[in-house]
Structure 1
Amino acid sequence: MVSTLFKLAICFLILRQGAGNFNLFLSQAEVRKLMGLQAELYYVRSGVINEYAMTFVVPVPAQVHKLHFTWESLAGRPLPYAMSVNISNPSALTSSLNVSQVGEIPIGGVQTWALSLNCGPYDAEVDLALRIDVSRSRYNTTSVVLRRKKICLKDNGYPGPEEVLVAAPGSSSSGQIFYASIGCACAFVAAICVLVIAYYVRDKKTRRHRDPLQESRGLSSACSVERGAGVGPAQTFLPPETPPPLSAASTSSYRRLDDRPSRELHERIQEITVQRCRVRLLSIELEGTFGRVYRGSYHEEGAQAPRDVLVKTAAEHASQSQVALLLREGLALYGLSHSALLPVLGVSIEDRGAPFLLYPHTGYRNMKRFLVRCKLSSEGPPRALTTQGVVEMALQAAKGAQYLHKKRLVHRDLAARNCVVDDDLRVQITDNALARDLFPQDYHCLGDNENRPIKWLAIESLTNKTFTTASDVWAFGVLLWELTTLAQQPYVEVDPFEMAAYLRDGYRLAQPINCPDELFAVMAYCWAMSADERPTFSQLIVCLQDFHTQLTRYV
């Protein structure tokens, strides 16, 4: 008994002595390259494994061909290690290390080493796992598995060797002094840049001494001055001779089924341009990082009284591409007329400020926020939403989508966040301008620099980026699920990178509590693996109307 306790005590002391003897992390430069964050990411800090970081699969963009890792021994002696790389598709991706697969973590400072990734001759998404086993003592080995998902594009092959700065132990003092000098110089230049930027921002804010609300409230007099002086309309953001900065094929969430060339963006803008001085911003309804939605009023020429409007606009720091995307997506429903659609009313673009997109406001509010309020309201008791009400709302959304398809338009982002509803449960489908900014939790980037509504996309849209009327039907099934769950997040337990495999294996959203079998059957039909097996919106309307008739028969 005493001998056993003695051995356990010895093992415990060995573990305690090895508890803080090495670090393994990603440098700030590596984290910024892969994730766009200014931070270091520790997988092992003082011998303690970061379990949360270990579960995250880091996407590797197509243009990145080397992964850099940094480690250091804190034990006062070299630590033996062994490394191996497991690749899911070796024909599409091969790898190599610039350090030996079996060796020792050196002492005397941090060391950075690289894993090179060489893509094959075709497009692929390849999973790879880097396993590192570090022997901290005879009885204690730490195993770390780092997972990555590499995007391989055949037109973006391996560029060849790149220079890697490795802080190897035993480097000369002159080299350290040289790198320290370079670091100090860079820090000095960075400090100068920060000061210049701060001065510029402060000067810009001083010149723009009024915020958009104050500016809009003071423009009514400017209208009369311009008309009295005979001044023409203000210069537009996109002059007629300037082509749209972003193509509809790459950025817009709408697509014409026949792919006929649409009218240029500036032509549509000029048709519905309104004077900025006729628009008054009253209060902020929604706000994101790069955009805002205001409640305001618009006084049409010749009208007795102004009308209530909602105004979508970009923030001051939004880039030109974000502004152009706002305009293109905001004008996608222009010219359409249906009771279940909310097209843009007007647009105001002037060179002195961000563009305004005007929408009629008659008591409607965002459907997703409405559903959340039905579930839990801080303004009073939550509103009870009956199955009959859910079906009525779904019917209106289906009729709006059916109208879009008759006009040979695919929405591509049909969801509760892109619909509005009033207190009488009247529903209208809207464009998805600013949706990515206002509801960032609904969009994910799978390493291709494109935020997409992954959890709402059909299987063919996920894998091939194919969008058709059938993919809109799939999204409508998820919208119906949102209605019955009061805007719960779909597939909340599924990683966005695993969605395609999850759907391919036949898994779907579960039947919500208190959801009738007939209604869930409609959802299930929408999520058929084959696009040809999914119903059309005309068929969905018939099914929903029949079910609505059954519900009202006994009421």
Structure 2
Amino acid sequence: MRWFVFMFLVPACVAHLNVYLSSAEVWRLLGLTAELFYVRDGQINYYALNFVVPVPATISELHFTWQSLARRPLPYTLHVDVVSHPEAMHQPTFNISSEGFVPIEPQTWKVDLPCTHTVAAEVDITISLNVSTGPSSTTLHFRRRKICLKDAPRPAVRVDSVPHAQTSADIFYAGAGCAGAALLAAAVAAAACRARARKLRRARSDEQDAHAFLPDSSCKSAASYTSYRRPTSLPASAAEERARDLQQRIAELTIQRCRVRLRSVAMEGTFGRVYRGTYADEDGREQEVLVKTVAEHASQVQVSLLLQEGCMLYGLRHERLLTVLGVSIEDQTAPFILYPWAASWRNLKQFLMSCRGASVGGAAGAAPPPPPLTTQHVVRMALHALDGLVYLHSQQVLHKDIAARNCIVDENLRVMIADNALSRDLFPADYHCLGDNENRPIKWLALEALQRRQFSPAADVWALGVLLWELTTLAHQPYAEVDPFEVSAYLRDGYRLQQPANCPDELFAVMAYCWAMSPDDRPTLTQLQIFLRDFHTQLTRFV
């Protein structure tokens, strides 16, 4: 069955042609069995045209397919602009002339993107196509972001003899229906998955002890592929090495669906659901798991985001990280992601809100309020999150969404960092769109990440400061009085979050230090560890 990627947000304009990426090209770039149409039957997909498609270092040419629908060839002009970092790329070339006619039969043409390999950079490229359709003309701009490494990249590793796509910096949301993951002087990552997901046949029970097996009693495994979020300021060699290692272990992600059974809904959003359940291994041993999946009406974009973000921490092992246990992607069912779980674990944001007598919609059951948190508790929990972030950065991984909603806590107040899969849906008040069709955690982002989408370890440090503020305020909303559209100007003018009530001056000084305007002026994670450990030691002396 062939899949098509559509997402029309505005009334269609008549262009009298088709322009699209073939299923082979979409598979090569994004790992999807789909055709991505920019213009289909004359209707322009502005949604797809608005997003930058990442091109990994291992791919040096792009292929487009077009066809005139006017029963005659249509005149066109074609050119390409290197928008940024021209020193990293020679002038791109086409295998067709820059002026000519769009044929009446489908034809594929090619754009070569030759890197100089003298510098490492993300090169922004705009391919402009102007087609005359009689009295009017149609201009299409295809935006690409090519990863160029200083040295020539190594050939991509093939999995199951099928070429996989590699992804770059930011998420490619809508037009492609799949997303890429970040990297700058760096790197290639493994690819988004082959997801033909339509509908989740699930069995839900109103009782906690009512069990329901997921469908597919044949235990047939499905191959799965992941994308990996990479830092934008860490060594390319380390990122490449990790990408290769990820591909070698990719088969470990596959989970046989019949071994999982769902018990109850832990959280639910508009299109996402989080279940509690169990997973039985091949020896019959069962363990508690958390299952993230999407509803029947979820779009392909939401499916691909779940898979990309859910696999962000795959392959990492640390006591302060909650990493994925497995992934299942099978025909006719929605994909799901499994995480190891324990009965005493809770979402940190929900836990903090319960400490002040509040609750978050979607939680199953009402737990008794926990005892009040002391400053000692807050500092120790911050140290746990800090330890997890130190490990992530040591593995050349940026989280980019450090927040209480993306952490879990157990009954002993031990904190673990998790990925941000489904967070946009489960905590919609924490994400905002500033007119760019991308929901981002605006009030947790460092100024350079908010304004220029520049992510670095220092940007994670900024978010860690906001997390510390959440801990001391019991998960109050940061900048509650500031409109999301005004946050950038608010921060640029030097304003920051206010000191919470009952927050020691020493602790607030750490937060303010994390929010320094320049990334170079912010503390390193090691400096934060030293200070918070010393501060915690001082607190314990008086108890």
Q: Which bracket does the TM-score occupy, shorter chain normalised?
A: 0.5 to 0.7
Q: 1:465 to 1:216 in 2, by over 3 A?
A: farther
Q: Does 1:356 align with 2:336?
A: yes
Partner of 2:235: 258
- Report which stretch shifted further, 328-337 or 531-540: 328-337
Partner of 1:499: 487
The higher relative CO (CA closer than 8 Å, separation ≥ 6) is in: 2
In the alignment, residue 460 of structure 1 is paired with which amino acid? Answer: E
- Contact 1:256–1:409 under 8 Å retained in 2: no
In the alignment, residue 496 of structure 1 is paired with which amino acid? Answer: P
Partner of 1:300: 281
TM-score (norm 2): 0.59
In the alignment, residue 486 of structure 2 is paired with which amino acid? Answer: E
| Per-residue deviation, 1:216 | 7.8
Aligned mates of 2:233, 2:291 — CA distance in 1:
26
Between Structure 1 and Structure 2, the one with more helix by share is 1
Aligned mates of 2:252, 2:341 — CA distance in 1:
21
- Contact 2:201–2:214 under 8 Å retained in 1: no
- Contact 1:265–1:328 under 8 Å retained in 2: no
- Contact 1:253–1:412 under 8 Å retained in 2: no
- Contact 1:234–1:351 under 8 Å retained in 2: no
Partner of 1:384: 372
Partner of 1:375: 356
Aligned-residue CA RMSD (Å):
3.5
- Contact 1:282–1:295 under 8 Å retained in 2: yes
Q: Which consecutive unaligned segments of at least 5 residues does structure 2 have?
A: 1-8, 12-46, 51-82, 85-123, 138-197, 359-365
| Per-residue deviation, 1:505 | 0.6
In the alignment, residue 292 of structure 1 is paired with which amino acid? Answer: R
Match of 1:424 among 379, 395, 412: 412
In the alignment, residue 285 of structure 1 is paired with which amino acid? Answer: A
Match of 1:211 among 202, 209, 233: 202
Aligned to 1:297, the other structure's residue is in SS state strand
| Per-residue deviation, 1:63 | 8.5
Q: 1:534 to 1:401 in 2, by over 3 A?
A: same
In the alignment, residue 212 of structure 2 is paired with which amino acid? Answer: R
- Contact 2:253–2:327 under 8 Å retained in 1: yes
| Per-residue deviation, 1:270 | 2.2
Higher Rg of the two aligned structures: 1
In the alignment, residue 277 of structure 2 is paired with which amino acid? Answer: G
Q: 1:208 to 1:33 in 2, by over 3 A?
A: closer
Partner of 2:37: none
Aligned mates of 1:266, 1:509 — CA distance in 2:
42
Aligned mates of 1:254, 1:326 — CA distance in 2:
20
- Contact 1:340–1:427 under 8 Å retained in 2: yes
Q: 1:235 to 1:399 in 2, by over 3 A?
A: closer
Q: Does 1:470 align with 2:465?
A: no
TM-score (norm 1): 0.57
- Contact 1:292–1:314 under 8 Å retained in 2: yes
* Aligned positions of 1:101-500 closer than 5 A: 211-213=202-204, 217-218=212-213, 223=217, 226=218, 233-236=220-223, 252=229, 257-259=234-236, 260-261=239-240, 262-263=243-244, 269-303=250-284, 305-362=285-342, 363-376=344-357, 379-381=367-369, 383-500=371-488
In the alignment, residue 454 of structure 1 is paired with which amino acid? Answer: I
Q: 1:462 to 1:274 in 2, by over 3 A?
A: same
Aligned to 1:420, the other structure's residue is in SS state strand
In the alignment, residue 211 of structure 1 is paired with which amino acid? Answer: R
- Contact 2:230–2:396 under 8 Å retained in 1: no
Aligned mates of 1:489, 1:423 — CA distance in 2:
24
Aligned mates of 1:462, 1:486 — CA distance in 2:
25
Aligned mates of 1:253, 1:369 — CA distance in 2:
29
| Per-residue deviation, 1:401 | 0.3
Aligned mates of 2:449, 2:10 — CA distance in 1:
27
Aligned to 2:306, the other structure's residue is in SS state helix
In the alignment, residue 317 of structure 1 is paired with which amino acid? Answer: H
Q: 1:341 to 1:379 in 2, by over 3 A?
A: closer
Q: 1:542 to 1:156 in 2, by over 3 A?
A: same
- Contact 1:284–1:294 under 8 Å retained in 2: yes
| Per-residue deviation, 1:350 | 1.5
In the alignment, residue 217 of structure 1 is paired with which amino acid? Answer: A
In the alignment, residue 329 of structure 1 is paired with which amino acid? Answer: E
Deviations 1:489-525 (A, max 9, x none): 0001111111111111100000000000010000010
In the alignment, residue 310 of structure 1 is paired with which amino acid? Answer: L
Deviations 1:27-68 (A, max 9, x none): xxxxx869xxxxxxxxxxxxxxxxxxxxxxxxxx9999xxxx
| Per-residue deviation, 1:236 | 3.8
Aligned to 2:489, the other structure's residue is in SS state helix
- Contact 2:202–2:214 under 8 Å retained in 1: no
Aligned mates of 2:214, 2:469 — CA distance in 1:
45
- Contact 1:254–1:329 under 8 Å retained in 2: no
Aligned mates of 2:514, 2:467 — CA distance in 1:
11
Aligned to 2:330, the other structure's residue is in SS state coil
- Contact 2:213–2:260 under 8 Å retained in 1: no
Aligned mates of 2:222, 2:287 — CA distance in 1:
25
In the alignment, residue 485 of structure 1 is paired with which amino acid? Answer: T
Partner of 2:95: none
Number of matched pairs? 352
| Per-residue deviation, 1:156 | 11
